[in-house]
């Protein structure tokens, strides 16, 4: 049995709620959590040993970080459709083939966000279509360089680390 869901905040992307939930151990807790529409992440393979990695400025942490291309699902959009849209937008490439690798919950302690991870192959150069708040540098990176960047602490984005792990690269 669950208590009443109360919306505390509604933003452009996120909604913050509080709710009392009863746990399997019989106790009840009051949670604060973010409802997120979900996202898709793409591991774009140019060749078997070469991927496209992006170096993106993240204003919330005031820093550039290495990431794989990803984006938030739009209203009623499927993860696959989102992946097809985001790969072009952020990298300037489209892909012939998408294979679902799995899904992750990056912060299940306070968010419903679920990221579906895809491998993309058969890339073709297109025109990128960055959003006005996106500052992105596209990098072509081979497997050994990805592992080196990770070991040096240069790849710190959790969803990117998970996706590379799903591909067997980390």
Q: Which CATH number covers residue 125?
A: 3.90.79.10
Choose among 46, 53, 80: nearest CA to 136: 53
Average pLDDT of span 9-29? 93
Query: What total number of domains does the chain contain?
Result: 2
Average pLDDT of span 28-35? 95
pLDDT at position 1, please? 60
The rounded mean pLDDT for the chain is 95
Q: What is the pTM of this model?
A: 0.93
For residue 21, pLDDT over 90 is answered with yes
30 with 73, same domain: the answer is: no
CA-CA distance, 127 to 88, in Å (whole number)?
7
69 with 133, same domain: the answer is: yes
Q: Is 32 a catalytic residue?
A: no
Instruction: Judge whether 108 lies within some domain.
Output: no
CA-CA distance, 147 to 49, in Å (whole number)?
12
64 with 125, same domain: the answer is: yes
- Contact 56/136 with Cβ under 8 angstroms? yes
Instruction: Judge whether 126 lies within some domain.
Output: yes
- Marked catalytic residue, from 132, 134, 137, 145: 132
Note down the domain range covering 12: 6-35
């Amino acid at each position: 049995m669950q208590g009443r869901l109360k919306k505390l905040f509604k933003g452009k992307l996120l909604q913050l709620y509080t709710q009392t939930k009863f746990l399997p151990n019989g106790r009840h807790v009051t949670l604060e959590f973010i409802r997120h529409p979900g996202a898709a992440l793409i591991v774009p393979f140019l060749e078997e040993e070469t991927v496209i990695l992006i170096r993106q400025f993240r204003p919330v942490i005031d820093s550039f970080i290495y990431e794989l291309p990803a984006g938030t699902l739009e209203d009623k959009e499927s993860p696959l459709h989102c992946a097809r849209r985001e790969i072009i937008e952020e990298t300037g490439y489209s892909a012939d083939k998408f294979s679902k690798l799995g899904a992750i919950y990056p912060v299940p302690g306070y968010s419903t966000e679920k990221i579906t991870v895809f491998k993309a192959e058969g890339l073709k150069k297109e025109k990128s279509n960055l959003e006005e708040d996106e500052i992105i540098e596209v990098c072509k990176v081979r497997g050994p360089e990805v592992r080196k960047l990770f070991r040096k602490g240069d790849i710190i984005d959790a969803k990117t680390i998970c996706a590379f792990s799903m591909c067997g690269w980390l």
